Structure 1
């Protein structure tokens, strides 16, 4: 039996159900149940929360979430091969696990969840960034989630938490840090996974802010930031020249030198520049 519950070890589960990770689905399985429980703990107290998990695979993190006291877990799994293993977990935790066989990009999970809601997932590498952006850009704020505790390739985690002046700083950092507190809480080597990926991984914890850190229209801010970083080697007066004939004056009024490059500009300055386009 495993160290966290009375179910079989994950290696046995994978062998019993013939579950080999599929590259086409971005799958890399975590088999150490003590490690998956540790990841679950990074999300804080789960006892009063519904938890959304994307891509549970054979259920290592799912078991961690349930053993750490999650009120209820909604697991969305695209791979039908994993469903029998997840059904065994559901039977071991009656009434606390619902599994949906669906593509997370096509499903609205809210009809299956009761607030407060936390998202905890070892995201499939091929959809992780897209899901994060969706969760950070809902039509209304605050979002449906209190926090996101997500595993990414380390490079993506560093882009989420990057500060101005670093090579990793860009659109993802601004999008994440405008509306949330973001920090890396765990690092995992390739050897923690089966099969081992070619890159290291990291867990990022994002806590939703009640309102954005600085006022700005989301669509205008995204447009300004996209233009700035799409030509990140250019001075901003050149990168943004198509947005307004008086772009140099707008930059100066936002506290930005026209000769600055995007990677040196702080979030507050980008928000100030975005506000100049609202009137």
Structure 2
């Protein structure tokens, strides 16, 4: 509360990983009631009338980890995991003295480990599994072959020979809400192979309901599916729509894939204050 004006103001950071952008708030004192958080996420993530972002991250205390989060997509839905969001959350925690450079973060997908080296952040991914390869996905005018897996959240990966010719919003939306992946739906990724350690990916993100400039879990999903299909080996450099290259490393044990990490820059754009009484 600003004592001079009586206005409620909340400090925040605007951060991004590869153009996947987030609003981050220190919520260790729990001043936002849980029932109001989805609406708050929609308000602050809205372009033009809010800050504008792909998601909202509230950092809180945790009895099991150094820090915990509540992660909300721009539509107010709560997500189990977000790779780029986790990288931004880890750096935010270090910058604000909430944790040291080697930290643990409690998410709905489990507790993940992170290492922060200035702007560079590496996170160990959790909840990887449930591979389903060669799934036929009937769309309105064609059938695509996709490959499903979970990286904390569900992903479908479709190989493409030309990413620029993919009608991403059209196909991505149909895959995201397809009956095959209900009730939670899925993220939709389209990947182009570039070499034995390199690929490019475009992602339609669940909860954002549009293409994002980068998706951390999508980058991991694309790399792991490409590895399962025999096209790449670790480490894999994943080129995102935002221009950043994310490094995905893993141990391929044949029947299982372990020790999955995602690494890249987590950047601060600016700090500011939200005027709570004037949010629409």
TM (norm. structure 1) is 0.24
Greater gyration radius: 1
- The structure with the greater share of residues assigned to strand is 2
